Every structure is written in structure tokens, then in C-alpha cells.
Amino acid sequence: MKRSIICLIFLGCLLGNMAAESGYELWLRYRLVDDMSLLDNYRKLNAVCYFPKTTSEQASAAKAELFRGMEGLLGKLPAETSAPDGGTLWIGVSHVLFPSGDIPFGEKVRALNEEGYLIWSGRLNGKQRVVVTALTDRGLLYGVFHYLRLMQTRQSLDDLCVVENPKLKYRMLNHWDNLDGTVERGYAGYSLWNWERLPFYKETRYTDYARANASIGINGIVLNNVNAQAKSLRRDWLVKASGLADAFRPYGIRVYLTAKFSAPKELGGLDTANPKDSRVRAWWKEKVEEIYSIIPDFGGFLVKANSEGQPGPQDYGCTHADGANMLGEALEPYGGVVFWRAFVYQNERHVDRVVTGYNEFKPLDGQFRKNVFVQPKNGPIDFQPREPFHPLFGGMPRTPLALEFQITQENLGHAGHLVYLGTLYEETLQSDTYACGQGSTVSKVLQDYQRTHGISAIAGVPNVGTDLNWTGHLFGQANWYAFGRLAWNPDMCAMTIAEEWVRMTFSNTQEVLNPILKLMAMSRETYVNYTMPLGLNHIMNYATHNGPEPWHDDPVWTAFDYHKVTTDSIGVDRTDGGSGATGQYHTPVCDRFNSLRTCPESYLLWFHRLPWDYRLASGKTLWDELVSHYYKGVAEVGQMKNIWHSLEGKIDLERYNQVASLLEYQEREAMWWRDGCVLFFQQYSQRPLPEGCQPPAHDLKYYQSIPFPYDWKGYYD
């Protein structure tokens, strides 16, 4: 009888697990463990919790999260004890848990850094116990999230010995949020920061945002757009920012601001922002002092200078290093750092943008202060669906480099397309720069603390906004999650991360897990196929960066600089004989990209200009291969739809429908890309579509006239 009641309760909980969900809880859903024997085991080990009293905000946040997680996962709260011996689960910093200093797994604890943690289980003082410990409360917080993740992903808690230290020190999100509430290239609604009500009213969402970020180890948030407004450094705005700093502090997150280079003029009334002018230097020093008086743990500045019209030191004949060092000097007494972006180019026609960042920054190697990072994007152009790694990662051996990824899908279908970016991130991080011989991957370059005066960093431009599910597309959450996990450990495998995310977000059952993983694994290549295959890039809509516009050509900007299509050929010669971009890489990468024989097909038209009848490895001509990629991409979206449909009834209807409807939308957009691009390039190739390819339903003019946001009426009816 008792057993059947338990079973009924259990069944009820399981059905509860299928209840409609908006996605707001992200991967921190903490639903009841649906495996009876595991649940029993977890409950036993977590029956009595010994969590020594503390006054620290971070330890309190850790405890609150632990209890919240347990209540959900185990269906009940653990009992608490103040007597260590009674506890089955010990959680605390090591010197409190083991005041005598006699730590049973001492060498493991000594291996921890200030953010690291240890999760250990086994027999301790004669009893079976689990211990989560760290040197600091921040480490403890990360340890608690990991411990909960073990249960969320149904792992055994027996014989654990998890020793974790983050491999990068600054794990940043760079919000591109404007002070008027909009987000530059943000596709999930408006900014999360409610500046009107700050600093007084602290929305629950700020705490939930901080929780989610702490769960993946993010420890720094730049609050505002790189296209900065000086106003954000005004006292009243600093006070507002302090409200966010207060909300994030318990979760180990510091706030940073972008610094507009002309602020001494705009705010300080000076007639110059010249970094060599003593008044300008004094202004920044005073400003920094003021900031720290308002936000005592302020992190530092992110700067976009002399790029896309932003002011910068070059306006005064000075270098990027002069500008960055001035800010670094002002921040140094407080332990703050500068992230100085290497994304620099001036909107000029017929200049190869690919080589500009390297050319400007390489000569400055070794000239930056110790608290200054140079921050290149992952690739040398601008967050394209596929780019080779930025050559600066192999080119500045004496400078700390921070890598900037985009999480928001500016050029990857906005929040409408399912594209798992973990594989894109991994592709960059595992690229070998050969800077110090084989194995000098981008990831290793970032982690090279010795080279970088003990600091290291990575940044992501987030995809969050006011949408109920945070990211617009549910699978956008996976990209945020993957970025955080890779920031913690850039050598993790993208699909391992995807599996963690699916288990926590949807389900641990194989019938849900396998199809979703398949979908995620194929999604990025699919996107490349239907938009910019074979190394094509920057042919998207000029203004919105969504949809095809390889035909864009006006006095300011032309897509022709990027594809250089003619009746003979397509692609950009960036070899030794062309713009020389290949020469910015070390041997043998340089040779590999330079030679047609060894250049990966995925970068073919990035580095080479080739005739339409050039034969690829498949035996097909370049024209046929290009078109085949476009058609394959659309067919793959069809497969993704089918895979998703197989999940109907296996996950809650609300989230099922969200994704199903967006996949319909994605398929239409994929067809738009395919048909627009194929017809456009066909004007030049003057070749027929390969056999088996259905001709587009409309003529080129039709695709060229689709506005954005557009009306789909009548399109692909």
C-alpha cells in the first residue's frame, strides 16, 4: 500500500516534469530525479547537511542555491546540523570544515586556486560522506553549482574526487546594451537593465541572471555597449550601475563599463582627449577614483577605439597602446583591468579588412601595461558563420589576449535559427596557431599565464534580453551555456557541453537526449551550408545582418569586396600573391592556407579566388559544389524539423511548440538565402543548376525586394 502511494506521488511528479515551461528557468530547473534508485541514493547522501554558519553573501548564495536545488531534485530539503559528525554532506571553505588543518585530502585542496573547488565522497570519520569545499566562498559557490549539476545530469555521487580550477581568470560577458534600453544586435527583446528604476529597485531577474551566470562560472559583466556613450561614466549613471553591482556581487560577478575615449571632452569639459595630455590623464585618474568610491569592486573598462567611427588615441597621432596604457595606469591602484578591442577598421571600400587588425596591433606587441588585454574577435573579419582564427592569437607573444566570441547570433540567423555555437567556439579554440610549435592552440595561447603576467581572459557578447525565455530561441540558451563552460575550461568538448545542457534543460532519457544532440551537432554546418559555404562571408543584409544581400553595392559599402564575383571567378585572393593574409599566420598554417592543395575547403573562397570550373575534391566544379551546399543546407533544415517532430509528446508542449514553429521559420529563411544567393551568383557563372536541384520559385528581383522585417504573405505558400 505504502509503496503504491509512493509510486503515485512519483508518477505525479513525473507528469509535473512534463508541465508547460516557458524556459525562464534555463538549465537550473531542478526537477525531481525520475530514477527511483538514484533518487534513493541521492537522498541518503544528502540527508543531513553540515554547512557552517557564515556571514558572507557568497556563501549565503551558495547555501540558498543548494537548498533550492535539493528541494526540487530530491523533493525535500535536507536536515541541517551544526555538529559535523552528524552531517552526510559537508559544505564549507576548507579552513572552517577542517579547523585543525588536518584535511584528509589536503594535497587536493592545496591544488585549488581562489575560484576552484573540490567535490569528494567516500568514508570520512567512519561514515559515508560527501564534501564540497574550496578556499573561498566564491569557489564554494561554483562547487555547489557543480554538485547540483551532477545530480541534474544523473551522475553517481559515489567515490567522487572532482578538482576544478577555472583555466581562465576573467570570464566576461560584454553586453552591448544601450542606455535607452535597446540592445545593439540583440534579438531577445530589450536590455535587462532597467535604468529608470536603478539603483533602488532590484528586479528578481537580476538575481536570476547572476545565478545563471555563476552556474557556468562567468565572473565579469560589462554593462554597456562598446559603441559607448560617455554618459555612462557620469556620477548619476555610476550610482545606477552600483545597483547592478550589488545584485551581482553575491554571485561572484564584478561589473565593468565601456569607456568612451572622448569622455574627458564630453564630460570633463576639456578641449582634448589626447592620452599624452596631463589634464586628460588626471581626468581619467579622478574618474576612476570616483568609480571605485561608488563601486568598490569595479572591474575595469572595455574600449572600442578608432573603429567604425569611434574616437580613439589615433585622433591625436597616438597609438592604441598609448590610449590603453593611460586607462590601465588609472585603474592599476585598484586592481582594475582594461580590455582594449582589436576589432579595428574604418569603413573603407576596397581595403581588405581581414588584414587590418593584425597590421595595426602586431607592431604594438609588448607595449601594453600589465593590466591591459588586447581583445580580438575569434576571426579577422566580424563574427561570420565561419572564419579562420584571428592571426593575432599567434602574433602577440608579449601581450595578454582576451578572445571575443559572439553569443548573440548577429550573423547566424538572429534568435530565429537553431544554431548551436559550441562547435564554432571549439573550432576556434582548438585551432593550432603554431606560435610556439605544434600544439599552440588558441586555447593554450589564452591560458598561457606565464606569458601574460598571470592574467587571462575570454569574452562573449550575450544573447539575452527581456524575452520570457531570456534568449528568444530556446536553443540560444545552449550557446550562452556553452560559452560559460568553455570560458571555465576552453578545452572542453562542445558536444559534452551540449549533453550537459540537454540533460538539464530537457531530459536525461536517451529518447530525448539523442535526437536533440544530433540536431545540435549538425546545426552550425547546416547554417553555413545555406548561407555562406566554402569560405564565403559577409554577404548578408547590410543593415540587419540577416538574410542574403550579396548584391549590396553602394558608395559606402559593397559586398563585392567580400566575394569579388565576376563571370570568370569568385573568392578573394588572400594568398602571398593577393592581400597577403595567409602570411599573417605561422608556418605551417600559412602554407596550408596559401596552397590550394592543402587549404581546407571550408576556407576555400576566403583565401582563394577561383574559376567557376575549378574542380574540388568531390570531382564537382566550383559552381556545382557551391550550389550543392546551398541545397544541402535547406534539406538539412528539413531533417532538423523531422528530428524535432520525433520529440512530440516526449517534452512539454510549450517548449516543443516554441522550437517547432521557429524551425518552420528557419526553413523559409534558409530557402530565401539559398534562392537569393544561387540566382545572384548564377548571373555571373552563367551555368545551369546541377542536376536534381529544383529551380527557385521566383526570380532574383523577388528575393532582392524582400524587406526586413518582412511580410511572408504569399512567400513559399
Strand extents, DSSP E, 213-346? 220-222, 254-258, 300-303, 337-341
Question: Among the options 80, 271, 308, 568, which is catalytic?
Answer: 308
238 binds ligand BDP (CB under 6 A): no
Q: Please say which residue, 154 or 185, places its beta carbon nearer to ligand BDP.
A: 185
Count of chain residues binding ligand BDP (CB under 6 A):
10
| Preceding amide of 250 cis, omega within 30 | no
CB of 188 to ligand BDP, least distance (A): 16
Q: Angle at the Cα of 604 (from 599 to 606), degrees rounded to 5? A: 115
383 binds ligand BDP (CB under 6 A): yes
Query: What 3-state DSSP class applies to 266?
Result: helix
CB of 540 to ligand BDP, least distance (A): 10
Secondary structure, 3-state, 647-661? CECCECHHHHHHHHH
CA distances from 411 to 542, 543, 544 (A): 11, 11, 9
Q: Which three cell numbers stand for residue 125?
A: 570519520
CB of 137 to ligand BDP, least distance (A): 35
| Cβ–Cβ < 8 Å for 479, 187 | no
Q: Angle at the Cα of 397 (from 393 to 403), degrees rounded to 5? A: 30
Question: Among the options 164, 332, 410, 573, which is catalytic?
Answer: 410
**Closest-CA residue to 242 (of 289, 204, 195, 179):** 195
184 binds ligand BDP (CB under 6 A): yes
Question: Among the options 21, 352, 360, 382, which is catalytic?
Answer: 382
Q: Please say which residue, 329 or 387, places its beta carbon nearer to ligand BDP.
A: 387
412 binds ligand BDP (CB under 6 A): no
The region, left, alpha or beta by phi > 0 then psi within -120 to 50, assigned to residue 645 is alpha
Q: Angle at the Cα of 354 (from 325 to 169), degrees rounded to 5? A: 45
Here's the x/- map for ligand BDP, 279-308, by CB under 6 A: it reads as: -------------------------x---x
Q: Please say which residue, 50 or 383, places its beta carbon nearer to ligand BDP.
A: 383
Catalytic site residue 613?
no
227 binds ligand BDP (CB under 6 A): yes
Here's the x/- map for ligand BDP, 639-658, by CB under 6 A: it reads as: --------------------
Provide the CB-side half-sphere exposure for 98 (13 A, CA).
15
CB of 348 to ligand BDP, least distance (A): 16
185 binds ligand BDP (CB under 6 A): yes
Residue 48 main-chain phi, psi, to 5 deg: -130, 125
419 binds ligand BDP (CB under 6 A): no
Catalytic site residue 382?
yes
CB of 311 to ligand BDP, least distance (A): 14
- Nearest residue to ligand BDP by CB is 382
Q: How many CB atoms lie within 10 A of CB 155?
A: 13
CB of 458 to ligand BDP, least distance (A): 16
542 binds ligand BDP (CB under 6 A): no
541 binds ligand BDP (CB under 6 A): no
Here's the x/- map for ligand BDP, 325-344, by CB under 6 A: it reads as: ------------------x-
CB of 248 to ligand BDP, least distance (A): 23
How far separated are the first and last CA of the chain, in Å rounded? 58
Residue 302 main-chain phi, psi, to 5 deg: -115, 135
Among 382, 573, 624, 669, indicate the residue that binds ligand BDP (CB under 6 A). Answer: 382
Please state, in angstroms and rounded to a whole number, the distance separating the CA atoms of residues 573 and 580: 8
CB of 227 to ligand BDP, least distance (A): 5
240-271 burial, b at 16+ Cβ within 10 Å, e below that, comes to: bbbbbbbbbbbbbbbbbbbbbbbbbbbbbebe
Catalytic residues: 308, 382, 410
Q: Which residues are near ligand BDP by CB under 6 A? A: 184-185, 226-227, 304, 308, 343, 382-383, 410
